[in-house]
Amino acid sequence: MALLTVHGLSAAYGPLQVLWAVDLEVGAGESVALLGANGAGKTTLLRAILGLVPTLAGEVSFDGEALGGLPPDARVRRGLAYMSETGVFPDLTVDENLEIGAFALPRAQVAARMAEVLALFPDLAGRRRALGRSLSGGQRKMLGVAKALMGRPRLMVMDEPSAGLSPRMVGAVFEILARLREQGLGLLVAEQNVRFLDLADRAYILEGGRVRGQGKVADLRRDDAVRRAYFGLEEA
């Protein structure tokens, strides 16, 4: 059984329908990329999985439980985490951001979890009292990942983790995600940077709000049309 199952999901902003009967699955510990041009609906799909945008039809299940009607915080308590493109609170310190990320943990576990997470991010460990806004773009992104990890998620849903980063920082974010993946964390990542496909077992291609293709990344790379459309972009 898949960890995350999206079935027949449709969503709209007022009269503008942007997702049409989307089906998608992520297995436990699996790493899945979501490809698609600007406006294809990737952000809307990720936000719908977290309950952050209302849906017209369809169902999202996590670990066998239908999530319909559950608010985002209840979904996070069940083991989902979401990292948006922006990711952190600029007016809060590193520690405060991490504490917010830990909202679903028992209070007694927060300090120990913070130490565990900071051990993965030495740059942040040295700047715990710094405000989010004072961090470099790369450090902010790392803080976004760290904050999402605080709740011990089983599946991390990420929107363009490479956006706005220098190639060097893209490499650093890639390395940390590769490590988390090795530790068994499931990933669902919307990305346009082809480097991130090296992280993914499978990919889905979203076009105009519909799934137009899916498969193992190795197979998609061999498909000429897919390669032209999605695998030649923005090499880091």
* Closer residue to ligand ATP, CB minimum distance, 8 or 54: 54
- The CB-of-128 to ligand ATP minimum distance in angstroms stands at 31
- The CB-of-203 to ligand ATP minimum distance in angstroms stands at 14
* Closer residue to ligand ATP, CB minimum distance, 14 or 184: 14
* Closer residue to ligand ATP, CB minimum distance, 41 or 79: 41
Which residues are near ligand ATP by CB under 6 A?
13, 16, 18, 36, 38-44
Amino acid identity, position 194: V
**How far is residue 224's CA from residue 57's CA, in Å, rounded to a whole number?**
33
* Closer residue to ligand ATP, CB minimum distance, 38 or 183: 38
* Closer residue to ligand ATP, CB minimum distance, 40 or 76: 40
- The CB-of-31 to ligand ATP minimum distance in angstroms stands at 19
- The CB-of-156 to ligand ATP minimum distance in angstroms stands at 17
- The CB-of-190 to ligand ATP minimum distance in angstroms stands at 6
